[in-house]
Amino acid sequence: MVDFSVAIRTYNKADQIPPILEALRSQADTKSISWEIVIVDNNSTDNTADLIREYQVNWDCSFPIKYFFEPTQGASIARKRAIQEAQGELIGFLDDDNLPAPDWVAEAYSFGKMHPEAGAFSGQIHGKFEVEPPPNFRRIASYLAIIERGDKVFSYNTRKGRVLPPGAGLIIRKQAWLDCVPSNLLLLGPVGKSLGLKGEDMESLAHVQNAGWEILYNPKLHIYHEVPAWRFERDYLLSLVRSIGLAQHHIRMTRAKAWQKPFILPVYLFNDIRKAITYFIKKRKEIATDVVAACEMERLTSGVISPFYLWRNASRKPS
């Protein structure tokens, strides 16, 4: 019986895997926990497979490293494969640019046992920035999966204004996923070097939440997200935010109750257009020079476009 699985999805980041494995090797207070590391290689073309094999040969810890190759690219596909292969009752996800705090495994396992009502939970994600973030970065920090939401436990089910947590650092109860999350998710997330349509984590969690499970925030869980300089470039940030905004309508429809769905488009569309126009009038002078303002404007406009973009792409799919 495995208590806890650490699932790492990776794509062409062989140089970033060793620090993660060393951080997991040195986890504290895990002697009473049966756990494992599951690595899903999402079609890497670098030396990721060789690196993991070398680690497996020389690994002297009681918890094993397991390696799986997933040729179909997409963040949600890699996570689905990790769920299938992981043996733990609880599965903690790390991306290949995340470093867990020394007590991350122990705290995640303990919290999961204390809260059996939680289908999933997450904690704080702190940025390790290669360069100084732009002014007012906090306003868009969550788009880069930087999450610092205070020092109190809370439920996302009752904090309606809180966006559901990202997949980085997320702990999922395996049975909740198997029972609630469909196999054919629409949003793939990053596909290779392409961002795809973001929001794959929220789509999965929405299904878990809709089934009555709690989604909790535990401030004692800490991971550190390495953010290279290029991720602050204007073109990248705008592309990232656009990919999130274009998925907005699907997330709303997934989270909505059946009786709400006929009213979602007109109600939200009116409100989204109002917000976009108001923001543009207020910030039009800043948008050209302030990357944070430009991202906020892009998020609003792509949200307006979202239902029409999704419908157009659906109509282009072969029947």
Same domain for 54 and 74, yes or no, is yes
Residue recorded with tokens 């309606």 = 160
Single pTM value for the model = 0.93
Final residue in a domain of this structure, among 230, 251, 286: 230
Same domain for 141 and 250, yes or no, is no
Domain span at residue 253 reads 240-316
Final residue in a domain of this structure, among 180, 198, 230: 230
The answer as to whether 95 is a domain residue is yes
The answer as to whether 295 is a domain residue is yes
The answer as to whether 235 is a domain residue is no
Q: Write down the pLDDT at residue 174.
A: 97
Same domain for 273 and 208, yes or no, is no
The answer as to whether 33 is a domain residue is yes
Residue recorded with tokens 């395996």 = 174
Q: Write down the pLDDT at residue 317.
A: 54
Same domain for 250 and 128, yes or no, is no
Residues whose CB is less than 8 angstroms from the CB of residue 142 and which lie 6 or more positions away in sequence, other chains included: 163, 166
Same domain for 226 and 287, yes or no, is no
The answer as to whether 169 is a domain residue is yes
Same domain for 29 and 140, yes or no, is yes
Same domain for 244 and 148, yes or no, is no
pLDDT tens string, the chain, 319 residues long: the values are: 899 999 999 999 999 999 999 999 999 999 999 999 999 999 999 999 999 999 999 999 999 999 999 999 988 899 999 999 999 999 999 999 999 999 999 999 999 999 999 999 999 999 999 999 999 999 999 999 999 999 999 999 998 767 899 999 999 999 999 999 998 888 877 776 665 678 889 999 999 999 999 999 999 999 999 999 999 999 999 999 999 999 999 999 998 888 999 999 999 999 999 999 999 999 999 999 999 999 999 999 999 999 999 888 765 554 4
Q: How many CB atoms lie within 10 A of CB 210?
A: 13
Strand pairing category for 214-227 and 118-129: parallel
Final residue in a domain of this structure, among 230, 260, 291: 230
Same domain for 67 and 212, yes or no, is yes
Is residue 147 within 8 Å of residue 97, measured between CB atoms?
no
Same domain for 17 and 153, yes or no, is yes
Q: Write down the pLDDT at residue 319.
A: 47
Q: Considering only CA atoms, which of 273, 263, 270, 264 is closest in space to residue 301?
A: 273
Same domain for 172 and 268, yes or no, is no
Is residue 191 within 8 Å of residue 79, measured between CB atoms?
no
Q: Write down the pLDDT at residue 311.
A: 87
Q: Write down the pLDDT at residue 241.
A: 96
Is residue 218 within 8 Å of residue 128, measured between CB atoms?
no
Number of structural domains the chain divides into: 2
Which CATH number goes with the domain that contains 14?
Answer: 3.90.550.10
Q: Write down the pLDDT at residue 1.
A: 87
148-170 residues labelled b (16+ CB within 10 A) or e (exposed):
ebeeeeebbbeeeebebbbbbbb
Is residue 63 within 8 Å of residue 45, measured between CB atoms?
no
3-class state of residue 122 by DSSP: strand
- Rounded distance between C-alpha atoms, residue 34 and residue 210, angstroms: 30
- Rounded distance between C-alpha atoms, residue 252 and residue 242, angstroms: 16
Same domain for 56 and 107, yes or no, is yes
Same domain for 68 and 120, yes or no, is yes
